[in-house]
Structures are given as structure tokens and as C-alpha cells.
A = this chain, B = another copy of it.
Amino acid sequence: MKDDFRFLRACRRQEVDCTPVWMMRQAGRYLPEYRALRKKHSFWEMCKTPELAVEVTLQPLRRFELDAAILFSDILVPLEAMGSAIEFYEGRGPVVERPIRSRADLEGLKVIKAEEAVPFVMEAIRILRRELAGKAPLIGFSGAPFTLASYLVEGGGSKQYQHVKTLMYSDPQTYHRLMEMITDTVISYLSAQIQAGAQVVQLFDSWVGCLGPCDYREYAFPYNRRIFEALNRFNVPTIHFANQASTLLEQVVEAGGDIIGVDWRQDLGRAWQTIGYDRGIQGNLEPVSLFAPIPEIHKRVKRIIEQAENRPGHIFNLGHGILPTTPIDHAKAMIDAVHEFSAR
């Protein structure tokens, strides 16, 4: 039946036969079929060729009883389209060639119209909806503004976020201008994904946990809020995942999202209490748990299922992306255990 997937029902906090489960980064390096394809194509090629993105998106669904597919792409795709040259180097992560450190550095950047700027993403979504019809719903996604701004200012991954915070504290005008441009881009990007067929969208605020509560309020919250408000016009559930952000949880909820994603550092039951039961919750198995023996994985899955108390609106997931060396049979054991242990 159209749209009656377990995952979509949970997104709307409707009753389900058992808890739906998917894994952040489920389309990725831990799968040999992904690595085989990756040998033949550059990372950007994989993101920008709809047929390749589709193939990678579908790979984990052929192996596991996953309740949703998530578009294979990278959170840096819209930044590159904004005009920032970004390279992926093996084993080093992405490198932004001209990091933004001053007002003048904004010159080369523009807000994108996503359907024109990254048509390959929308094309992949359209193909995926056909391929997945009757099988699984499709999640679209974007990085959140602070996380994307961090990449542009730091020039890549970061430990201290020294450059982005220095810009924030020393030249707030430039920082806010950058955040506005990124926010407009994210709104266009997620709207286009929904219009192309994404049935749910997730906003990933992977790095925002480096901010204290006052800084989040001033420098990140208004932008996330604006995105969720803009998406309100679509009748599509939204997931808001802020990583390592337990001290920001109330503000994350206030910013928006039908489902709030939480990492493993918080007790899921306690987090849901803080979030409020008028929202769903997604999470939160420690990704390294999948390296444990299967009985230990079972114990940990069971604990999370118990914390969620079979309330409608729990989507099982890892607390962060699956790690590249994760044993595949352990991932399978986790997914099957979620369905088994949560059967109503």
C-alpha cells in the first residue's frame, strides 16, 4: 500500500508492527560492493552520476532488512555547487581549496537553485523512487548550516573549530552572511529533493556539538529553525540530527524536526522525555557496538528498545555513521534483532 511503510508510519508516530531501522552511512565503505565500485570511480563521480549514486544507495537494501533507503551523496555536494572547490583525498577526508576566513572570501560563493545546480541529485532521487516502489521509502538529506560553514571556514574536518569560531567571535557579520547563504542553499536543496520524491528528509548537524548553549542560540539555532519552517509547506516528515549535542537538546527540538536524532552519549529514554512525546526519536546504538560479539549486540539493542518503551515514533538507528571496518554480519544481526525484539 502506498506510503504505508513501517518507517513512514513511525515518522508520523503511528502504530507499527515493529520498530523500523536504518543506519547512518548505510551506503558506504563497510560494504565490499561499495569498495569495488569506488575503485573504479572517484568519490565525486560516485556522487554526481545518478546511476552510480542509485546503485550505491540500493546496495545495503539487497543485504539487509532495512526499513528505509537514504540517498547516497555527500553533505559537501551543495557547497561545491555554491562555488567552493573541494577535493577528496584518500584517507585524509575532504579539503576545501580556498577556506573562507574573511568577507572578501565570500565573493566567489553564490546561493544555489538546487534543481539547476545539482540536477544529478534530483535525477538519482527520481530513479530511486521507481526502483524502490513498494519496497522501501527514500530519505533525502542535507548538512545543517553550522556544519557546512565549519567545512568552508576550517577547510575540512576540524578538532577545535578554531577558525569558524574565531570568525564567529571576531567578524560576526561575515559569519552571519555566510550562514544566510548556506541556509538559503539548504532550503533550496531539501525542497528540490522533496519535489523530486524524497519521502523524508534529514538535517545532519554533525559538528554543532562543539558549541556551547549560548553560541548555539546565537549562531546556529536561527538558521536551523528557518530551514524547518521553510519545509513546513511540504507534507513530509523531517529528521533533525545534532551530533554530540546533548546540552543543546531543548534548543534542537525548538529549532524543529518531527523526529529528533540522538547519539549514543545520551540515554534514549531520558532524551525522549526531554524532547517530549509529541516528537519522534531516532537512535542510538553506539557504532562501535557492532564490533562486539553478537550476544553483546543483542543485549545493547534490547536495552534501547526497552528505553523506547514501544512508544510510537521510535526509529532505531546508530548513534552516528556505521564505521568502515564494521563486520557485515554484525550489522545484519543488529537489524534483525531490532525487528525481533520490538515486535508488538
Q: Which residues of B contact A165 (CB under 8 A)?
A: 286, 288-289, 291
Question: Is A174's CB within 8 Å of the partner chain B?
Answer: no
* Chain A 280-307 near chain B by CB (<8 Å), digits 1 or 0: 0000001111011100100000010000
Q: Given the interface contacts A162-B323, A169-B296, does A212 sit within 8 Å of B265 by beta carbon?
A: yes
Contact B288 A169 (CB under 8 A): yes
Contacts of A170 in B (CB 8 A): 291-293, 296
- Chain A's interface size range is 20 to 34
**Given A214-B303, A266-B212, A303-B214 in contact, is the A288-B162 Cβ separation under 8 Å?**
yes
Assess the B289–A169 pair: CB atoms within 8 A.
yes
Interface residue SS majority, chain A: helix
Copies in the complex: 2
Mark out the residues of chain A between 246 and 291 whose CB falls within 8 Å of any chain B CB in the assembled complex: 246-247, 264-267, 286-289, 291
A244 sits at the interface (CB 8 A): yes
Q: Mark A162-174, 1 if CB is under 8 A from B, else 0.
A: 1001100110000
A45-96 residues at the B interface, CB under 8 angstroms: none
A212 touching B291 in the complex, CB below 8 Å, given contacts A247-B246, A286-B165, A323-B162: no
Residues 208-241 of A contacting B (Cβ, < 8 Å): 209-215
Report the minimal beta-carbon distance from A265 to chain B, rounded to whole angstroms: 5
- Quick check: is A34 within 8 A (CB to CB) of the other chain? no
Cβ of A30 within 8 Å of any chain B Cβ, yes or no, is: no
Q: Tell me if A161 counts as interface (CB < 8 A to partner B).
A: yes
Nearest opposing residue in chain B for A266, CB measure: B247
- Chain A 310-330 per-residue mask, 1 if CB under 8 angstroms from chain B, else 0: 000000000100010100000
Question: What's the least CB distance linking A286 to chain B, in Å?
Answer: 6
* A291 and B247 contact, CB distance less than 8 A: no
Which residues in B have their C-beta under 8 angstroms from that of A293? 169-170
**Are B166 and A267 in contact, with the CB atoms below 8 A?**
no
CB distance from A10 to the nearest CB of B (A): 23
Query: Known pairs A160-B323, A213-B265. 5 more at Cβ < 8 A?
Result: A162-B288, A210-B265, A212-B264, A212-B267, A247-B267
30 intermolecular pairs with C-beta atoms under 8 Å apart: A160-B287, A160-B288, A161-B288, A162-B288, A162-B291, A162-B323, A162-B325, A165-B288, A165-B291, A166-B288, A166-B291, A169-B293, A170-B291, A170-B293, A170-B296, A209-B265, A210-B265, A211-B265, A212-B265, A212-B267, A212-B286, A212-B319, A213-B265, A213-B266, A214-B267, A215-B286, A246-B246, A246-B247, A247-B266, A247-B267
- 4 closest A-B pairs by CB: A169-B292, A165-B288, A166-B291, A212-B264
